[in-house]
Amino acid sequence: MLPVPQETAGESAYRSIRSDIIGGRLAPCSRLRLEALKERYSASVSTLRETLYRLSAEGLVRSEGQRGFEVAAVTQEEFQQLADLRELLESHALREAFRKGDLEWEGRVVGAYHKLESMERLMIAGDTSRSAEWKHYDREFHHTLISACGSAELLQVYGAIFDRYQRYQIVAVIFRGKPAAQEHRLLLDAALARDAERAAAVLHQHIAACVAHTVETGQLSSTDSDPTPLIHGRLNKSEAPVSVGETAWRCIRADIIAGKLPPGKKLKLSNLQDDYDTSVTTLREALNRLTSEGFVVAEGQRGFEVAPISAENARELAELRLLVEGRALEDSFAHGDIDWEARVVAAYHKLATMEAEMASGNLQVAELWKRYDWQFHQALTSACGSQVLMHLHNAVFDKYLRYQLIALSYRGRIAADEHRALYDCALRRDAEGAQEILQRHLRGGTEHALASGSIAA
């Protein structure tokens, strides 16, 4: 048998602290003092600091600069954002799973429901001693329902959003009793009947009722206590100090996205130590973080390598970006003000200028062109009003962008015309038209990149 790779101290601390935050054992707004955590999680102060910065990027921890860290607050605003995004992702995944799922999938769904229904019967009867199992089986049932959707990228981001959503349920001790149990039964029936529309309607009712129930308990703050504002869709963290590990993570991540560290490249710590001027310990933690994001693959005792690329993954990312960006466009068009319009106008002007340069044959501006392409799409979605949605959009966009930069995919007049059409839709607030154009834009861009021959089929 092959030896089981040992988990690093940083990865162990990350998983344990993350689990304790989601499970409510580390309460919202509680101070995370490094010396106390050192004893509790058997990790060094430097490892814990990098772990907390990582959890801060996930929205589970709040960094306060020189004042240290605390567990992120729970607020009505964020819970609603998480609920909306969960419904968006899960509804889409349900449709795909119902279409693709086979008898093996049905068996897993029925089995997961049996465990959940058994726990719910106990809870309804007044036995709350196994509530932790109930939440575990609730998670398992919903994840099993969508497990046949066929997209690893969609399942990964759904899992992260579901964990943050479930944290609210645990903190507020949410159990709605018979109505929730009945909704789970209706979801099972819809799955076996492959009735995606019925499942989506039940899911909407299920999530909306959970949010309403949570608000009624009064457990959550009415507004977000985190003062960190959104700046054009990005969290403004310019005031916060950047750790050595954060710097290494950002630099390596940028080089992977740009193709400077190509797919499949072995990431030898001794070489990276010279290239990024940091310690082996810091590099290991940065690479573990990039592994969790899908940019790096950990090979146990053999080390790390840059994640491979494939046509299947490229198409998964295009579809996920279409889903997330499409919702953000719709919300931005509904809520954007004159300042938002000005950002869109300014971003489009820069992009159109670079596209004209590219069309004239000046490929020296390719890096600027992709930067302004990113800025234009960010400007379009920047008025959506949801930090959670924008954070996910940024993450998916970066992984999609990696394919575009590796393939150096430029479709010329076609892409330029699509950008112009998106711009026109934005100014007249035509969300439906923008959705159709975005679909052509992303799917066409992906197929053009795949046709370059730079990405294995």
pLDDT for residue 107: 98
Beta bridge partners, 296, equal 306
Query: Band of the pLDDT at 221, cuts 50, 70, 90?
Result: low
Reference 110, options 202, 187, 207, 195; nearest CA is 187
Query: Band of the pLDDT at 173, cuts 50, 70, 90?
Result: low
CA distance 24 to 186: 29
- Listed in sequence order, the residues at least 6 apart from 11 whose beta carbon sits closer than 8 Å to its beta carbon are 288
CATH 1.10.10.10: which residues of the chain?
A: 1-73
pLDDT for residue 237: 42
With contact defined as beta carbons under 8 Å apart, do 149 and 96 qualify?
A: yes
Name the most confidently modeled range: 125-134, 147-156, 160-169, 272-281: 147-156
pLDDT for residue 301: 62
CATH class, 1-73 region: mainly alpha
- Which structure tokens are listed for 268? 């030898």
Question: What percentage of the chain has pLDDT greater than the value 70?
Answer: 91
- Listed in sequence order, the residues at least 6 apart from 421 whose beta carbon sits closer than 8 Å to its beta carbon are 433, 437
Given a cut of 50, is residue 2 above it in pLDDT? no
pLDDT, tens digit (0-9, with 9 covering 90-100), for 279-331 = 888 888 888 889 888 999 987 667 899 999 999 999 999 999 999 999 999 99
- Which structure tokens are listed for 396? 């998916």
SS3 at position 455: coil
CATH 1.20.120.530: which residues of the chain?
A: 76-217, 311-451
pLDDT, tens digit (0-9, with 9 covering 90-100), for 103-144 = 999 999 999 999 999 999 998 998 888 888 888 999 999 999
Given a cut of 90, is residue 227 above it in pLDDT? no
Average pLDDT over residues 328-351: 97
pLDDT, tens digit (0-9, with 9 covering 90-100), for 362-418 = 878 888 888 899 999 999 999 999 999 999 999 999 999 999 888 876 778 899 999
- 311-451: CATH topology is Four Helix Bundle (Hemerythrin (Met), subunit A) (1.20.120)
Q: What is the pTM of this model?
A: 0.88
pLDDT for residue 226: 47
CA distance 364 to 448: 20
With contact defined as beta carbons under 8 Å apart, do 295 and 324 qualify?
A: no
Residue 331: its H or E element: helix 311-335
Average pLDDT over residues 433-446: 95
Given a cut of 60, is residue 17 above it in pLDDT? yes
pLDDT for residue 66: 66
- Which structure tokens are listed for 308? 């491979």
Mean pLDDT of the chain: 88
CA distance 415 to 370: 12
pLDDT for residue 117: 96
Query: Band of the pLDDT at 222, cuts 50, 70, 90?
Result: low
pLDDT, tens digit (0-9, with 9 covering 90-100), for 30-74 = 999 999 999 899 888 888 888 888 888 888 999 876 678 999 998
Given a cut of 80, is residue 198 above it in pLDDT? yes
pLDDT for residue 180: 92
Pick among 1.10.3720.10, 1.20.120.530, 3.40.50.2300, 3.60.70.12: CATH of 76-217: 1.20.120.530
The number of helices, as runs of H, and strands, as runs of E, in the chain is 18, 8
pLDDT for residue 31: 93
Higher-pLDDT residue of 363, 207: 207
The sheet carrying 31-32 orders its strands as 31-32, 69-71, 61-63
pLDDT for residue 231: 34
With contact defined as beta carbons under 8 Å apart, do 303 and 263 qualify?
A: no
Given a cut of 70, is residue 224 above it in pLDDT? no
User: Of 92-101, 175-184, 297-306, 435-444, which range is least confident?
Assistant: 297-306
Q: Which long-range contacts (CB under 8 A, 24 or more apart) does 419-424 make?
A: 419/348, 419/351, 419/352, 419/355, 419/373, 419/376, 420/348, 420/352, 422/376, 422/380, 423/344, 423/348, 423/376
Question: What percentage of the chain has pLDDT greater than the value 90?
Answer: 60
Reference 251, options 233, 239, 267; nearest CA is 267
With contact defined as beta carbons under 8 Å apart, do 90 and 203 qualify?
A: yes
The total of other beta-carbon atoms located within 10 Å of residue 394's CB is 16
Given a cut of 50, is residue 236 above it in pLDDT? no
Average pLDDT over residues 436-447: 94
- Listed in sequence order, the residues at least 6 apart from 59 whose beta carbon sits closer than 8 Å to its beta carbon are 72, 78, 164, 387, 388, 391
- Listed in sequence order, the residues at least 6 apart from 133 whose beta carbon sits closer than 8 Å to its beta carbon are 119
